[in-house]
Amino acid sequence: MQDIVDEMVENRDTRIQQQFLRFVDPRRDENPDDAWMVLRGTPAQNAHIGRAPVTNAEYAAFKADFAYAKGKDDYPVVNITIDEAKAYCEWLTAQDPEHTYRLPSDEEWILAAGHMPKDASMNAGHAESGLTPVDAYEQSTGVCGGIDFWGNCWEWTSSTNANGLHVVKGGSWNSDRDDCRSEKSDVVRDGSQGHADVGFRVVRVDNR
């Protein structure tokens, strides 16, 4: 518990600044019914973030030989390295001259998720025996309106620690609930290999 209190004190100014940026950022979501949620508070021009982590079906559209279990189209894709996640983003970018796609930074992920509600229902703490579809806990949404930020699977970010390990966010189905807090940024993984509990979501930036 003391670790959580210390973390809240340490990140207090950052959280206040993020809330301020959300209120004053004039950007609006031009199409609230699509899969991209406006990302307020970031200096990137007209940035949006994926409504959910990239799914098996979405990743298979990029990589034809990617295999996954039948009936799991809407499950988050996992066991993806950082380079493979970046290659997926580059593939999206190549198809869309108006936008660039990339992984979110730690700070952008926090801006999109916001503070985790105390009563949020999520796939964490072994609530399920493994991954679930990304919309299984849709009633718990991030501040941007996106889903599946907490629990189910960790998500890669572009941020690294001093040792070059990538920060992962959000916790997973087998994580303690406390590890799913948006502010928790000390969990890192080796990006050169895939992990069974790490997926990713994508940021889209306007090129104009």
DSSP string, 30-75: S-TTSSEEE-TT-SSTT-EEESSPPBHHHHHHH-TT----TT-TTS
2-206: what fold? paralog of FGE (formylglycine-generating enzyme) (3.90.1580)
Q: Counting beta carbons within 10 angstroms of the beta carbon of residue 151, is it exposed (0 to 12), middle (13 to 18) or buried (19 or more)?
A: buried
Q: Where are the domains of the chain?
A: 2-206
Question: Which H or E run contains 89?
Answer: helix 82-94
pTM exceeds 0.85 for this model? yes
> Which of 97, 84, 103, 81 lies closest to 157, judged by CA?
103
The predicted pLDDT at position 34 comes to 85
- Per-residue pLDDT tens for 41-62? 888 878 999 999 999 999 999 9
Given a contact cutoff of 8 angstroms between Cβ atoms, the answer to whether 155 and 198 are in contact is: yes
Given a contact cutoff of 8 angstroms between Cβ atoms, the answer to whether 137 and 116 are in contact is: no
Length of the chain: 208
Average pLDDT on 72-76 reads: 98
Indicate the pLDDT class of residue 156, thresholds 50, 70 and 90: very high
pLDDT at 203 over 70: yes
